Structure 1
Amino acid sequence: MRITLDNRLPADHAARALRADAGTAFTERPRTLPPKWFYDAHGSVLFDRITRLPEYYLARAEKQILRAHAAEIAELTGARTLVELGSGTSEKTRVLLDALTEAGTLKLYAPVDVSDTTLEGAAESLCRDYPDLSIAATVADFETDLPLPGAGPRLVAFLGSTLGNLTPDQRAAFLARLRSVLTHEGDALLLGVDLVKEPSALIRAYDDDQGVTAAFNKNVLRVLNRELHATFDLGAFDHKAIWNAEAERVEMRLRARVSHSVEIHDLNLTAEFGRGEDILTEISAKFRREPLTEELTRAGLPPTHWWTDPQSRFALLLTTRT
Protein backbone atom coordinates (compact mmCIF):
# COMPACT_ATOMS: atom_id res chain seq x y z
CA MET A 1 0.00 0.00 0.00
CA ARG A 2 1.24 3.48 -0.87
CA ILE A 3 -0.79 4.93 2.01
CA THR A 4 -0.43 3.97 5.66
CA LEU A 5 -2.33 5.55 8.57
CA ASP A 6 -0.98 5.22 12.10
CA ASN A 7 -3.52 6.40 14.67
CA ARG A 8 -1.61 7.10 17.88
CA LEU A 9 -4.52 8.71 19.74
CA PRO A 10 -7.02 6.75 21.86
CA ALA A 11 -10.60 6.85 20.65
CA ASP A 12 -11.67 9.16 23.46
CA HIS A 13 -8.65 11.48 23.23
CA ALA A 14 -10.53 14.55 21.97
CA ALA A 15 -13.38 14.14 24.45
CA ARG A 16 -11.03 13.77 27.42
CA ALA A 17 -8.86 16.68 26.29
CA LEU A 18 -11.85 18.98 25.82
CA ARG A 19 -13.22 18.11 29.24
CA ALA A 20 -9.83 18.81 30.81
CA ASP A 21 -9.34 22.12 28.99
CA ALA A 22 -12.87 23.32 29.72
CA GLY A 23 -12.62 22.25 33.34
CA THR A 24 -9.51 24.37 33.74
CA ALA A 25 -10.87 27.32 31.76
CA PHE A 26 -14.07 27.65 33.74
CA THR A 27 -12.78 27.00 37.23
CA GLU A 28 -9.76 29.30 37.05
CA ARG A 29 -9.15 32.91 36.08
CA PRO A 30 -8.13 34.35 33.73
CA ARG A 31 -10.20 32.08 31.49
CA THR A 32 -8.23 30.51 28.62
CA LEU A 33 -9.11 27.89 26.01
CA PRO A 34 -6.65 26.40 23.47
CA PRO A 35 -7.38 27.41 19.86
CA LYS A 36 -7.56 23.81 18.66
CA TRP A 37 -11.20 23.69 19.77
CA PHE A 38 -12.22 26.06 16.96
CA TYR A 39 -11.69 23.34 14.39
CA ASP A 40 -14.71 21.11 14.18
CA ALA A 41 -16.17 20.65 10.68
CA HIS A 42 -17.95 24.02 10.79
CA GLY A 43 -14.90 25.79 12.21
CA SER A 44 -12.65 24.34 9.52
CA VAL A 45 -14.99 25.71 6.83
CA LEU A 46 -14.91 29.12 8.50
CA PHE A 47 -11.12 29.08 8.71
CA ASP A 48 -10.89 28.22 5.02
CA ARG A 49 -13.02 31.32 4.36
CA ILE A 50 -10.72 33.38 6.59
CA THR A 51 -7.65 32.41 4.54
CA ARG A 52 -9.37 33.86 1.45
CA LEU A 53 -10.31 37.20 3.03
CA PRO A 54 -8.52 40.33 1.76
CA GLU A 55 -7.51 41.25 5.32
CA TYR A 56 -5.92 37.88 6.05
CA TYR A 57 -2.56 38.23 4.33
CA LEU A 58 -0.81 35.39 6.18
CA ALA A 59 -1.76 32.46 3.94
CA ARG A 60 -1.16 34.38 0.71
CA ALA A 61 2.20 35.73 1.84
CA GLU A 62 3.42 32.32 2.98
CA LYS A 63 2.39 30.67 -0.28
CA GLN A 64 4.07 33.46 -2.23
CA ILE A 65 7.35 32.72 -0.43
CA LEU A 66 6.96 28.98 -0.95
CA ARG A 67 6.43 29.45 -4.68
CA ALA A 68 9.47 31.70 -4.95
CA HIS A 69 11.86 29.46 -2.99
CA ALA A 70 10.56 25.88 -3.10
CA ALA A 71 13.13 24.81 -5.69
CA GLU A 72 15.92 26.32 -3.58
CA ILE A 73 14.59 24.58 -0.46
CA ALA A 74 14.54 21.27 -2.34
CA GLU A 75 18.13 21.77 -3.47
CA LEU A 76 19.34 22.81 -0.03
CA THR A 77 17.72 19.93 1.84
CA GLY A 78 17.75 17.03 -0.61
CA ALA A 79 14.91 15.68 1.50
CA ARG A 80 13.89 12.05 1.04
CA THR A 81 11.06 12.49 3.55
CA LEU A 82 8.80 15.50 3.99
CA VAL A 83 7.08 15.56 7.39
CA GLU A 84 4.35 18.14 7.95
CA LEU A 85 3.07 18.99 11.43
CA GLY A 86 -0.56 20.08 11.54
CA SER A 87 -0.92 19.20 7.88
CA GLY A 88 -4.70 19.63 7.49
CA THR A 89 -5.68 19.22 3.84
CA SER A 90 -2.03 19.53 2.68
CA GLU A 91 -3.06 21.97 -0.04
CA LYS A 92 -0.22 24.49 0.26
CA THR A 93 2.25 21.66 0.82
CA ARG A 94 1.84 20.76 -2.83
CA VAL A 95 4.29 23.55 -3.68
CA LEU A 96 6.97 21.72 -1.68
CA LEU A 97 5.90 18.33 -2.99
CA ASP A 98 6.22 19.59 -6.56
CA ALA A 99 9.70 20.98 -5.95
CA LEU A 100 11.01 17.92 -4.11
CA THR A 101 9.51 15.59 -6.73
CA GLU A 102 11.10 17.64 -9.51
CA ALA A 103 14.44 17.44 -7.69
CA GLY A 104 14.11 13.67 -7.64
CA THR A 105 14.85 13.15 -3.94
CA LEU A 106 11.42 12.77 -2.32
CA LYS A 107 10.24 9.25 -1.50
CA LEU A 108 7.81 9.75 1.39
CA TYR A 109 5.35 12.37 2.59
CA ALA A 110 4.47 12.04 6.28
CA PRO A 111 1.61 14.33 7.35
CA VAL A 112 0.73 14.59 11.06
CA ASP A 113 -2.67 15.83 12.21
CA VAL A 114 -5.25 15.14 14.93
CA SER A 115 -8.02 14.41 12.41
CA ASP A 116 -7.99 10.96 10.82
CA THR A 117 -10.71 11.87 8.30
CA THR A 118 -8.77 14.93 7.13
CA LEU A 119 -5.60 12.87 6.75
CA GLU A 120 -7.38 10.12 4.84
CA GLY A 121 -8.95 12.56 2.40
CA ALA A 122 -5.70 14.43 1.81
CA ALA A 123 -3.72 11.20 1.35
CA GLU A 124 -6.12 9.83 -1.24
CA SER A 125 -6.05 13.08 -3.22
CA LEU A 126 -2.25 13.28 -3.12
CA CYS A 127 -1.86 9.67 -4.21
CA ARG A 128 -3.87 10.41 -7.33
CA ASP A 129 -1.76 13.45 -8.18
CA TYR A 130 1.67 12.06 -7.19
CA PRO A 131 1.73 8.48 -8.48
CA ASP A 132 5.29 7.75 -7.32
CA LEU A 133 4.84 9.12 -3.79
CA SER A 134 4.30 7.00 -0.68
CA ILE A 135 2.37 8.54 2.23
CA ALA A 136 2.75 7.64 5.90
CA ALA A 137 0.05 9.59 7.73
CA THR A 138 -0.02 9.79 11.52
CA VAL A 139 -2.89 10.80 13.77
CA ALA A 140 -1.16 12.48 16.71
CA ASP A 141 -1.06 15.64 18.80
CA PHE A 142 2.30 17.13 17.85
CA GLU A 143 2.45 19.21 21.04
CA THR A 144 3.01 16.01 23.01
CA ASP A 145 3.96 13.43 20.37
CA LEU A 146 6.36 14.05 17.48
CA PRO A 147 6.45 11.05 15.16
CA LEU A 148 9.01 11.53 12.40
CA PRO A 149 8.94 8.45 10.14
CA GLY A 150 10.97 7.86 7.05
CA ALA A 151 14.57 7.88 5.91
CA GLY A 152 16.79 10.91 6.16
CA PRO A 153 17.43 13.53 5.33
CA ARG A 154 14.00 14.63 6.56
CA LEU A 155 12.46 18.05 6.11
CA VAL A 156 9.92 18.94 8.79
CA ALA A 157 7.47 21.63 7.66
CA PHE A 158 5.73 23.62 10.39
CA LEU A 159 3.86 26.28 8.49
CA GLY A 160 1.07 28.83 8.97
CA SER A 161 2.74 30.60 11.91
CA THR A 162 1.31 27.90 14.16
CA LEU A 163 4.40 28.38 16.34
CA GLY A 164 2.87 31.72 17.33
CA ASN A 165 -0.05 29.95 19.03
CA LEU A 166 2.34 28.75 21.73
CA THR A 167 3.52 30.75 24.73
CA PRO A 168 7.29 31.28 25.04
CA ASP A 169 7.56 28.41 27.54
CA GLN A 170 5.48 26.14 25.30
CA ARG A 171 7.61 27.10 22.30
CA ALA A 172 10.82 26.27 24.15
CA ALA A 173 9.49 22.86 25.18
CA PHE A 174 8.19 22.12 21.69
CA LEU A 175 11.44 23.12 19.97
CA ALA A 176 13.46 21.03 22.44
CA ARG A 177 11.31 17.96 21.68
CA LEU A 178 11.60 18.62 17.97
CA ARG A 179 15.38 18.89 18.14
CA SER A 180 15.54 15.61 20.07
CA VAL A 181 13.83 13.69 17.24
CA LEU A 182 15.75 15.28 14.35
CA THR A 183 18.35 12.54 14.50
CA HIS A 184 19.40 11.99 10.88
CA GLU A 185 22.28 13.84 9.29
CA GLY A 186 20.86 16.65 7.20
CA ASP A 187 17.48 16.77 8.98
CA ALA A 188 16.00 20.27 8.77
CA LEU A 189 13.00 22.36 9.81
CA LEU A 190 11.08 24.69 7.53
CA LEU A 191 9.25 27.15 9.74
CA GLY A 192 6.63 29.71 8.71
CA VAL A 193 6.19 32.74 11.01
CA ASP A 194 4.25 35.97 10.90
CA LEU A 195 6.27 39.12 11.52
CA VAL A 196 5.71 42.18 13.70
CA LYS A 197 4.13 44.99 11.72
CA GLU A 198 1.71 47.88 12.12
CA PRO A 199 -0.90 46.91 14.74
CA SER A 200 -3.71 48.14 12.50
CA ALA A 201 -2.81 45.58 9.81
CA LEU A 202 -2.61 42.84 12.41
CA ILE A 203 -5.98 43.68 13.95
CA ARG A 204 -7.65 43.73 10.52
CA ALA A 205 -6.33 40.24 9.85
CA TYR A 206 -8.11 38.96 12.98
CA ASP A 207 -11.23 41.13 12.86
CA ASP A 208 -12.46 41.26 9.27
CA ASP A 209 -15.27 43.46 8.01
CA GLN A 210 -17.43 40.48 7.03
CA GLY A 211 -17.40 39.03 10.56
CA VAL A 212 -16.04 35.66 9.47
CA THR A 213 -13.34 35.67 12.16
CA ALA A 214 -15.91 36.65 14.77
CA ALA A 215 -18.03 33.64 13.77
CA PHE A 216 -14.91 31.45 13.86
CA ASN A 217 -14.06 32.66 17.36
CA LYS A 218 -17.60 32.08 18.64
CA ASN A 219 -17.61 28.61 17.12
CA VAL A 220 -15.72 27.37 20.16
CA LEU A 221 -18.89 28.09 22.16
CA ARG A 222 -20.87 25.96 19.72
CA VAL A 223 -18.39 23.15 20.28
CA LEU A 224 -18.75 23.44 24.06
CA ASN A 225 -22.53 23.48 23.81
CA ARG A 226 -22.61 20.39 21.61
CA GLU A 227 -19.88 18.30 23.20
CA LEU A 228 -20.34 19.21 26.88
CA HIS A 229 -24.04 20.12 26.84
CA ALA A 230 -23.27 23.68 27.86
CA THR A 231 -25.63 26.66 27.63
CA PHE A 232 -23.45 29.35 26.10
CA ASP A 233 -25.44 32.09 24.37
CA LEU A 234 -23.29 33.19 21.43
CA GLY A 235 -25.07 36.52 21.42
CA ALA A 236 -23.88 37.19 24.97
CA PHE A 237 -20.25 37.48 23.84
CA ASP A 238 -18.40 39.88 21.54
CA HIS A 239 -15.40 38.92 19.43
CA LYS A 240 -12.32 40.99 20.27
CA ALA A 241 -8.92 41.07 18.55
CA ILE A 242 -6.36 42.90 20.69
CA TRP A 243 -2.73 43.79 20.04
CA ASN A 244 -0.65 43.06 23.14
CA ALA A 245 2.29 45.36 22.49
CA GLU A 246 4.38 44.11 25.41
CA ALA A 247 4.17 40.44 24.36
CA GLU A 248 4.03 41.35 20.63
CA ARG A 249 1.07 39.12 19.94
CA VAL A 250 -2.52 39.33 18.77
CA GLU A 251 -5.00 37.97 21.29
CA MET A 252 -8.44 36.74 20.27
CA ARG A 253 -10.96 37.02 23.07
CA LEU A 254 -14.65 36.47 23.70
CA ARG A 255 -15.93 39.25 25.95
CA ALA A 256 -19.12 38.90 27.96
CA ARG A 257 -21.62 41.64 27.13
CA VAL A 258 -23.51 41.23 30.42
CA SER A 259 -23.10 39.40 33.70
CA HIS A 260 -24.56 35.92 33.37
CA SER A 261 -24.19 32.24 34.25
CA VAL A 262 -23.46 29.29 31.96
CA GLU A 263 -24.24 25.69 32.82
CA ILE A 264 -21.73 23.08 31.59
CA HIS A 265 -23.77 20.00 32.35
CA ASP A 266 -21.21 17.31 31.48
CA LEU A 267 -18.79 18.86 33.94
CA ASN A 268 -21.48 19.52 36.57
CA LEU A 269 -20.21 23.09 36.55
CA THR A 270 -21.68 26.58 36.58
CA ALA A 271 -19.43 29.28 35.12
CA GLU A 272 -20.13 32.85 36.23
CA PHE A 273 -19.21 35.71 33.90
CA GLY A 274 -18.99 39.34 34.87
CA ARG A 275 -19.80 42.03 32.35
CA GLY A 276 -16.65 42.64 30.27
CA GLU A 277 -14.97 39.40 31.39
CA ASP A 278 -12.91 37.67 28.69
CA ILE A 279 -12.20 34.15 27.54
CA LEU A 280 -8.80 34.14 25.83
CA THR A 281 -9.26 31.78 22.88
CA GLU A 282 -6.07 32.29 20.87
CA ILE A 283 -2.71 33.97 21.00
CA SER A 284 -0.81 34.64 17.80
CA ALA A 285 2.72 35.80 18.50
CA LYS A 286 4.46 37.92 15.87
CA PHE A 287 8.19 37.58 15.45
CA ARG A 288 11.31 39.63 14.81
CA ARG A 289 14.32 38.11 13.09
CA GLU A 290 17.00 38.54 15.75
CA PRO A 291 15.04 37.32 18.81
CA LEU A 292 13.62 34.36 16.88
CA THR A 293 17.08 33.44 15.60
CA GLU A 294 18.35 33.46 19.19
CA GLU A 295 15.38 31.36 20.35
CA LEU A 296 15.94 28.73 17.67
CA THR A 297 19.70 28.68 18.21
CA ARG A 298 19.20 28.05 21.94
CA ALA A 299 17.04 25.07 20.97
CA GLY A 300 19.82 23.67 18.75
CA LEU A 301 18.03 24.67 15.54
CA PRO A 302 19.95 27.67 14.19
CA PRO A 303 18.43 29.24 11.04
CA THR A 304 20.54 29.04 7.92
CA HIS A 305 18.15 30.80 5.54
CA TRP A 306 15.47 33.46 5.96
CA TRP A 307 13.04 34.40 3.19
CA THR A 308 10.22 36.95 3.21
CA ASP A 309 7.53 38.10 0.82
CA PRO A 310 8.20 41.42 -0.99
CA GLN A 311 6.35 43.38 1.72
CA SER A 312 8.24 41.61 4.55
CA ARG A 313 4.98 40.59 6.18
CA PHE A 314 5.79 36.91 6.66
CA ALA A 315 8.93 34.77 6.79
CA LEU A 316 10.04 31.24 6.03
CA LEU A 317 13.08 29.97 7.90
CA LEU A 318 15.18 26.93 7.14
CA THR A 319 16.93 25.60 10.23
CA THR A 320 19.29 22.67 10.67
CA ARG A 321 20.09 20.42 13.60
CA THR A 322 23.36 20.97 15.50
Structure 2
Amino acid sequence: MLKQSNITIDVHLANQDPDAVKDELRSGLLSKPRRLPTKYFYDDHGSALFEQICEVPEYYPTRTEHQLLKTVADDVVARTCAEELVELGSGAATKTRVLLDAMARTNRLRFYVPFDFSEGIVRRVAQELVEEYEGLHVHGVVGDFLAHLEHIPQGGRRLVVFLGGTIGNLGPEAAPAFLSSVAQEMDPGDFFLLGVQLITDVERLEAAYNDSAGLSAAFNKNILSVLKVVIGAEFDPDTFDHVARF
Protein backbone atom coordinates (compact mmCIF):
# COMPACT_ATOMS: atom_id res chain seq x y z
CA MET A 1 0.00 0.00 0.00
CA LEU A 2 1.16 3.52 -0.86
CA LYS A 3 -0.24 6.29 1.31
CA GLN A 4 0.55 9.97 1.02
CA SER A 5 -1.62 12.87 2.19
CA ASN A 6 -4.90 12.40 0.31
CA ILE A 7 -3.78 9.54 -1.98
CA THR A 8 -3.91 5.86 -1.05
CA ILE A 9 -3.03 3.09 -3.51
CA ASP A 10 -3.76 -0.57 -2.74
CA VAL A 11 -2.14 -3.17 -5.01
CA HIS A 12 -3.78 -6.60 -5.06
CA LEU A 13 -2.07 -8.05 -8.12
CA ALA A 14 0.68 -10.38 -6.98
CA ASN A 15 3.19 -11.76 -9.46
CA GLN A 16 1.25 -13.82 -11.97
CA ASP A 17 1.52 -17.59 -11.51
CA PRO A 18 2.40 -18.83 -15.03
CA ASP A 19 0.61 -22.16 -14.47
CA ALA A 20 -2.57 -20.42 -13.31
CA VAL A 21 -2.44 -18.09 -16.32
CA LYS A 22 -1.92 -21.07 -18.64
CA ASP A 23 -5.01 -22.74 -17.18
CA GLU A 24 -6.94 -19.51 -17.69
CA LEU A 25 -5.77 -19.27 -21.30
CA ARG A 26 -6.49 -22.94 -21.99
CA SER A 27 -10.04 -22.53 -20.72
CA GLY A 28 -10.58 -19.46 -22.89
CA LEU A 29 -9.12 -20.98 -26.03
CA LEU A 30 -11.21 -24.13 -25.63
CA SER A 31 -14.43 -22.13 -25.24
CA LYS A 32 -16.72 -21.27 -28.15
CA PRO A 33 -16.08 -18.66 -29.35
CA ARG A 34 -12.43 -18.66 -28.33
CA ARG A 35 -11.43 -15.76 -26.08
CA LEU A 36 -8.51 -14.36 -24.14
CA PRO A 37 -8.92 -12.71 -20.72
CA THR A 38 -9.40 -9.05 -21.57
CA LYS A 39 -7.64 -7.83 -18.41
CA TYR A 40 -4.32 -8.59 -20.11
CA PHE A 41 -4.98 -5.87 -22.66
CA TYR A 42 -4.45 -3.27 -19.98
CA ASP A 43 -0.83 -3.32 -18.95
CA ASP A 44 0.76 0.13 -18.90
CA HIS A 45 1.51 0.02 -22.64
CA GLY A 46 -1.95 -1.28 -23.53
CA SER A 47 -3.60 1.40 -21.41
CA ALA A 48 -1.56 4.08 -23.17
CA LEU A 49 -2.57 2.69 -26.57
CA PHE A 50 -6.23 2.71 -25.57
CA GLU A 51 -6.00 6.36 -24.58
CA GLN A 52 -4.75 7.09 -28.11
CA ILE A 53 -7.52 4.98 -29.65
CA CYS A 54 -10.11 7.13 -27.90
CA GLU A 55 -8.81 10.13 -29.86
CA VAL A 56 -9.00 8.69 -33.39
CA PRO A 57 -11.92 9.78 -35.61
CA GLU A 58 -13.25 6.26 -36.13
CA TYR A 59 -13.61 5.44 -32.44
CA TYR A 60 -17.00 6.94 -31.66
CA PRO A 61 -17.92 5.08 -28.40
CA THR A 62 -15.86 7.30 -26.09
CA ARG A 63 -17.11 10.56 -27.64
CA THR A 64 -20.71 9.35 -27.60
CA GLU A 65 -20.62 8.24 -23.98
CA HIS A 66 -18.88 11.46 -22.98
CA GLN A 67 -21.69 13.50 -24.52
CA LEU A 68 -24.34 11.34 -22.85
CA LEU A 69 -22.67 11.81 -19.49
CA LYS A 70 -22.60 15.58 -19.97
CA THR A 71 -26.35 15.44 -20.59
CA VAL A 72 -27.24 13.36 -17.52
CA ALA A 73 -24.44 14.07 -15.00
CA ASP A 74 -26.26 16.70 -12.96
CA ASP A 75 -29.41 14.58 -12.81
CA VAL A 76 -27.42 11.48 -11.79
CA VAL A 77 -25.72 13.38 -8.97
CA ALA A 78 -29.02 14.90 -7.81
CA ARG A 79 -30.75 11.51 -7.76
CA THR A 80 -27.94 9.61 -6.05
CA CYS A 81 -26.68 12.28 -3.62
CA ALA A 82 -23.36 10.43 -3.90
CA GLU A 83 -20.27 11.77 -2.19
CA GLU A 84 -17.97 8.96 -3.32
CA LEU A 85 -17.41 7.81 -6.91
CA VAL A 86 -16.12 4.27 -7.47
CA GLU A 87 -15.08 3.48 -11.04
CA LEU A 88 -14.43 -0.08 -12.19
CA GLY A 89 -12.00 -0.25 -15.10
CA SER A 90 -11.20 3.42 -14.60
CA GLY A 91 -8.39 3.81 -17.14
CA ALA A 92 -7.44 7.45 -17.61
CA ALA A 93 -10.73 8.61 -16.03
CA THR A 94 -11.30 10.97 -18.95
CA LYS A 95 -15.10 10.70 -19.04
CA THR A 96 -15.29 10.35 -15.28
CA ARG A 97 -14.36 13.98 -14.88
CA VAL A 98 -17.84 14.87 -16.13
CA LEU A 99 -19.33 13.14 -13.08
CA LEU A 100 -16.64 14.48 -10.76
CA ASP A 101 -17.37 18.01 -11.99
CA ALA A 102 -21.09 17.54 -11.33
CA MET A 103 -20.40 16.24 -7.83
CA ALA A 104 -18.01 19.12 -7.15
CA ARG A 105 -20.66 21.64 -8.20
CA THR A 106 -22.89 20.37 -5.41
CA ASN A 107 -20.02 20.32 -2.89
CA ARG A 108 -20.63 16.60 -2.40
CA LEU A 109 -17.39 15.30 -3.88
CA ARG A 110 -15.25 13.67 -1.20
CA PHE A 111 -13.69 10.46 -2.51
CA TYR A 112 -12.83 8.86 -5.84
CA VAL A 113 -11.88 5.19 -6.12
CA PRO A 114 -10.24 4.27 -9.45
CA PHE A 115 -10.11 0.47 -9.86
CA ASP A 116 -7.90 -0.72 -12.71
CA PHE A 117 -5.55 -3.51 -13.78
CA SER A 118 -2.75 -1.05 -14.61
CA GLU A 119 -0.87 0.19 -11.57
CA GLY A 120 0.83 2.91 -13.57
CA ILE A 121 -2.39 4.49 -14.75
CA VAL A 122 -4.02 4.31 -11.29
CA ARG A 123 -1.08 6.18 -9.78
CA ARG A 124 -1.06 8.77 -12.56
CA VAL A 125 -4.80 9.43 -12.39
CA ALA A 126 -4.70 9.71 -8.60
CA GLN A 127 -2.03 12.40 -8.78
CA GLU A 128 -3.82 14.30 -11.55
CA LEU A 129 -7.17 14.35 -9.79
CA VAL A 130 -6.01 15.48 -6.37
CA GLU A 131 -4.39 18.42 -8.16
CA GLU A 132 -7.55 19.17 -10.16
CA TYR A 133 -10.13 18.86 -7.36
CA GLU A 134 -9.44 20.65 -4.10
CA GLY A 135 -9.95 18.48 -1.04
CA LEU A 136 -10.48 15.28 -3.04
CA HIS A 137 -9.22 12.02 -1.54
CA VAL A 138 -8.31 9.27 -4.01
CA HIS A 139 -8.12 5.64 -2.92
CA GLY A 140 -6.86 3.68 -5.90
CA VAL A 141 -7.25 -0.09 -6.20
CA VAL A 142 -4.97 -2.03 -8.55
CA GLY A 143 -6.58 -5.36 -9.25
CA ASP A 144 -8.84 -7.56 -11.34
CA PHE A 145 -12.46 -6.50 -10.97
CA LEU A 146 -13.51 -10.11 -11.55
CA ALA A 147 -11.52 -11.23 -8.51
CA HIS A 148 -10.86 -8.32 -6.15
CA LEU A 149 -14.12 -6.43 -5.72
CA GLU A 150 -14.09 -7.07 -1.98
CA HIS A 151 -11.14 -4.68 -1.74
CA ILE A 152 -13.22 -1.65 -2.71
CA PRO A 153 -12.92 0.60 0.34
CA GLN A 154 -15.99 1.29 2.41
CA GLY A 155 -17.10 4.88 2.49
CA GLY A 156 -20.07 7.19 2.39
CA ARG A 157 -22.93 7.21 -0.09
CA ARG A 158 -21.41 5.73 -3.25
CA LEU A 159 -22.02 5.84 -6.97
CA VAL A 160 -20.35 2.83 -8.60
CA VAL A 161 -19.80 3.25 -12.34
CA PHE A 162 -18.79 0.76 -15.03
CA LEU A 163 -18.47 2.67 -18.28
CA GLY A 164 -17.16 2.26 -21.81
CA GLY A 165 -19.26 -0.74 -22.73
CA THR A 166 -16.68 -2.85 -20.89
CA ILE A 167 -19.48 -5.18 -19.82
CA GLY A 168 -19.38 -6.38 -23.44
CA ASN A 169 -15.93 -7.85 -22.85
CA LEU A 170 -17.47 -10.38 -20.48
CA GLY A 171 -19.19 -13.49 -21.73
CA PRO A 172 -22.90 -14.27 -21.30
CA GLU A 173 -22.15 -16.24 -18.12
CA ALA A 174 -19.47 -13.95 -16.67
CA ALA A 175 -21.45 -10.72 -17.07
CA PRO A 176 -24.41 -11.66 -14.80
CA ALA A 177 -22.00 -13.16 -12.25
CA PHE A 178 -19.97 -9.96 -12.27
CA LEU A 179 -23.04 -7.77 -11.77
CA SER A 180 -24.15 -9.99 -8.90
CA SER A 181 -20.71 -9.60 -7.30
CA VAL A 182 -20.93 -5.82 -7.63
CA ALA A 183 -24.35 -5.84 -5.98
CA GLN A 184 -22.98 -7.82 -3.05
CA GLU A 185 -20.34 -5.14 -2.42
CA MET A 186 -22.85 -2.28 -2.45
CA ASP A 187 -24.61 -0.90 0.60
CA PRO A 188 -28.19 0.38 0.93
CA GLY A 189 -28.28 3.84 -0.63
CA ASP A 190 -25.47 3.13 -3.12
CA PHE A 191 -26.18 3.43 -6.85
CA PHE A 192 -24.77 1.67 -9.93
CA LEU A 193 -24.33 3.34 -13.33
CA LEU A 194 -23.65 1.03 -16.29
CA GLY A 195 -22.51 2.13 -19.75
CA VAL A 196 -23.40 -0.23 -22.61
CA GLN A 197 -22.78 -0.02 -26.32
CA LEU A 198 -25.79 -0.48 -28.57
CA ILE A 199 -25.62 -2.30 -31.88
CA THR A 200 -25.22 0.26 -34.62
CA ASP A 201 -24.29 0.38 -38.29
CA VAL A 202 -21.95 -2.58 -38.88
CA GLU A 203 -19.55 -0.64 -41.11
CA ARG A 204 -19.22 2.11 -38.52
CA LEU A 205 -18.81 -0.42 -35.73
CA GLU A 206 -16.07 -2.36 -37.50
CA ALA A 207 -14.24 0.84 -38.45
CA ALA A 208 -14.14 1.85 -34.78
CA TYR A 209 -12.10 -1.25 -34.01
CA ASN A 210 -9.95 -1.15 -37.12
CA ASP A 211 -8.79 2.48 -37.27
CA SER A 212 -6.63 3.70 -40.13
CA ALA A 213 -3.81 4.62 -37.72
CA GLY A 214 -3.45 0.98 -36.72
CA LEU A 215 -3.83 1.71 -33.02
CA SER A 216 -6.57 -0.86 -32.47
CA ALA A 217 -4.41 -3.46 -34.17
CA ALA A 218 -1.45 -2.58 -31.95
CA PHE A 219 -3.67 -2.61 -28.86
CA ASN A 220 -5.19 -6.00 -29.61
CA LYS A 221 -1.86 -7.59 -30.52
CA ASN A 222 -0.26 -6.18 -27.38
CA ILE A 223 -2.12 -8.80 -25.36
CA LEU A 224 -0.01 -11.43 -27.10
CA SER A 225 3.18 -9.68 -26.03
CA VAL A 226 1.91 -9.46 -22.46
CA LEU A 227 0.94 -13.13 -22.29
CA LYS A 228 4.17 -14.22 -23.94
CA VAL A 229 6.11 -12.69 -21.05
CA VAL A 230 3.72 -13.87 -18.31
CA ILE A 231 3.76 -17.54 -19.33
CA GLY A 232 7.28 -17.60 -20.77
CA ALA A 233 6.10 -18.72 -24.20
CA GLU A 234 8.09 -18.71 -27.43
CA PHE A 235 6.14 -17.20 -30.32
CA ASP A 236 6.27 -14.07 -32.43
CA PRO A 237 3.25 -11.76 -31.96
CA ASP A 238 4.03 -10.17 -35.34
CA THR A 239 3.01 -13.40 -37.08
CA PHE A 240 -0.59 -12.74 -36.01
CA ASP A 241 -2.98 -10.53 -37.98
CA HIS A 242 -5.54 -8.20 -36.45
CA VAL A 243 -9.06 -8.74 -37.84
CA ALA A 244 -12.03 -6.70 -36.59
CA ARG A 245 -15.33 -8.23 -37.67
CA PHE A 246 -18.78 -8.02 -36.12
Q: Distance in 2 between matches of 1:224 and 1:49?
A: 22
Matched residue, 2:87: 84
| Counterpart in the other structure of 1:161 | 165
What is the SS of the residue equivalent to 2:195? Answer: strand
The letter for the 2-side match of 1:100 is M
Shift, 1:116, TM fit: 2.5
> Which residue in 1 is equivalent to 2:197?
194
The Cα RMSD (Å) is 2.1
Q: Is the 8 A contact 2:44 2:120 kept in 1?
A: no
Aligned-pair CA distance for 1:194 = 0.6
Q: Who is 1:180 aligned against?
A: 184
Q: 1:97 aligns with which of 95, 100, 105?
A: 100
Q: 1:230 aligns with which of 230, 233, 238?
A: 233
Aligned mates of 1:120, 1:6 — CA distance in 2 = 10
User: Which residue of the other structure, out of 87, 105, 109, is the alignment partner of 1:106?
Assistant: 109
Gapped regions of structure 1 (runs ≥ 5): 244-322
Q: 2:61, 2:98 → 1: CA distance?
A: 16
Partners of 1:16 and 1:130 in 2: CA distance: 43
Are residues 229 and 12 of structure 1, via their aligned partners in 2, closer, same or farther at CA, if it must alter by over 3 Å? closer
Specify the alignment match of 2:132 in structure 1: 129
Q: Residues of 2 paired with 1:175 and 1:125: CA distance? A: 29
The 2-side partners of 1:29 and 1:179 are apart by: 27
Residue 82 of structure 2: SS of its match in structure 1? coil
Provide the residue aligned with 1:72 in structure 2.
75
Tell me the alpha carbon deviations over residues 215-243 of structure 1, each in whole angstroms, 9 at most, x when there is no partner.
22222222233333433233432211222
List per-residue Cα deviations over 1:131-162 (Å, max 9, x = no partner). Answer: 21111222221112224434332100111111
**Displacement of 1:53:** 1.3
Higher strand fraction: Structure 1 or Structure 2?
A: 1
CA distance in structure 1 between the partners assigned to 2:237 and 2:164 by the alignment: 28
- Say if 1:108 and 1:150, in contact at 8 Å, map to a contact too: no
Equivalent residue runs for 1:1-322 within 5 Å? 1-9=5-13, 11-13=14-16, 18-24=21-27, 28=30, 31-146=34-149, 147-184=151-188, 186-243=189-246
Q: Which residue identity is paired with 1:130?
A: Y
In structure 2, what is the Cα distance between the partners aligned to 1:130 and 1:16?
A: 43
Closer, same or farther in 2 for the Cα pair 1:14/1:76, shift >3 Å?
Answer: farther
- Higher RCO by CA contacts (8 Å cutoff, separation 6 or greater): 2
Q: Do the aligned residues in 2 keep the contact of 1:81 with 1:150 (CA within 8 Å)?
A: no
Query: What is the TM-score of this pair, normalised by structure 1?
Result: 0.68
Distance (whole Å) between structure 2 residues aligned to residue 18 and residue 191 of structure 1? 29
Q: Which of the two has greater helix per residue? A: 2
Query: 1:193 & 1:25 partners in 2: Cα distance?
Result: 23
